[in-house]
Amino acid sequence: MPCPVDSYGPGFFRVGGEVIRGPLLILPDSGVRAWGGWEDTALILAEAKRLDVLFVGTGAEMAYLPPGFRAVTNDVGLGVEPMPTPAACRTYNVLLSEGRRVGIALFPV
């Protein structure tokens, strides 16, 4: 079950009252879990057809998506929106509150 991102700080996220250290992935069907980074795409690809969009929080600053990550998400028709992690958390929370099927992959600030 997807949950909003309650807060974040240097190296961690708080989601559903639980603190997760390091990169984080939240998907509608898979829920909240630690994320292995750009190469860890299995769950994202498995849920791609059921997602409206995947937000990617790239850390404290905006960063481009690696070409390999962009290619595998494009291959399955998944819309991916990279942005700094604070903006990704805010945008994800708003769309989640509207009932949209959104996912988020986050690198800590």
CATH number, position 9: 3.40.1230.10
Structurally, how many domains does the chain consist of?
A: 1
* Per-residue pLDDT reduced to its tens digit, 19-28: 999 999 999 9
**What's 98's DSSP letter?**
T
How do residues 43-69 score in pLDDT, each as one tens digit? 999 999 999 999 999 999 999 999 999
DSSP string covering 10-55, please? Answer: TTEEEETTEEEES-EEEETTTEEEE---TT--HHHHHHGGG-SEEE
The boundaries of the domain holding residue 46 are 5-106
